[in-house]
């Protein structure tokens, strides 16, 4: 059964081995142990990086985390580009999928969001610009979505912590403000 993503206020903690901006972070990470620790700590959701080239993640990590923390909502975090990846995400245990407005045209994003909802998953739509927010508004008219407002510009990795503040009042749905946290 799908666990609703962000059905209550709380944290979304990440399973991530590396990133383009930070390099190796936790190459020896055990996704099962990490997911269990996150669940025991009371997190609402777990974000699992499945992208191999830049983040050293895998669909196996997604499946392991979903089985290890069945009460947590599991987000597949990857650069999803094709509709087929939505079904794959569902089959590997995702409760939500990341759709990045910056890399998907509106038609493709809306199709992928509709397909995610068909499987009972939540489309988690990442925005950073006003044009991204416009696509988010269209997607929200069609059904449940959650917004992710990224403080980090994916083009140059610059972090602007004021970006979430710009969008705070105009988002048509629940939201997570991403990136830019420097400490506890």
Q: When comparing pLDDT for 19 and 63, which is higher? A: 63
The angle, 0 to 180 degrees and rounded to 10, between the axes of the packed helices 59-68 and 31-40 is 40
- The tokens describing 1, both together, are 């059964």
Cα–Cα distance between 123 and 76 in angstroms, integer? 10
- Report the pLDDT value the prediction gives residue 139, as an integer from 0 to 100: 97
- The tokens describing 159, both together, are 């972090």
- How many percent of the chain have pLDDT more than 70? 97
**Could you give the 3-state DSSP secondary structure of residue 136?**
helix
> What's this model's pTM, rounded to 2 decimal places?
0.91
**Could you give the 3-state DSSP secondary structure of residue 176?**
strand
Which residue spans within 39-136 are E strands per DSSP?
A: 45-49, 73-77, 96-100, 122-127
Pairing of strands 146-150, 45-49: unpaired
pLDDT digits (tens, 9 = 90+) for 148-184: 998 887 777 788 888 888 887 888 998 888 876 666 6
* Mean pLDDT in residue range 123-144: 94
Distance separating the N- and C-terminal Cα atoms of the chain: 32
């Amino acid at each position: 059964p799908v666990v609703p993503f962000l059905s209550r206020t709380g944290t979304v903690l990440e399973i991530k081995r590396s990133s383009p901006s930070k390099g190796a972070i936790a190459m020896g990470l055990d996704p099962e142990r990490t997911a269990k620790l996150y669940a025991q700590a009371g997190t609402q959701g777990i974000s699992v990086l499945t992208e191999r080239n830049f983040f050293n993640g895998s669909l196996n990590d997604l499946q392991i985390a979903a089985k290890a923390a069945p009460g947590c909502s599991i987000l597949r975090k990857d650069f999803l580009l094709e509709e087929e990846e939505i079904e794959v995400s569902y089959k590997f245990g995702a409760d939500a999928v990341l759709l990045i407005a910056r890399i998907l045209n509106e038609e493709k994003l809306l199709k992928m969001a509709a397909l995610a909802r068909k499987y009972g998953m939540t489309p988690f739509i990442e925005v950073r610009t006003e044009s991204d927010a416009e696509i988010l508004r269209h997607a929200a008219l069609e059904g449940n979505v959650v917004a992710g407002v990224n403080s980090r510009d994916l083009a140059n990795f610059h972090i602007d912590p004021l970006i979430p503040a710009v969008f705070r009042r105009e988002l048509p749905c629940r939201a997570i403000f991403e990136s830019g946290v420097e400490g506890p």
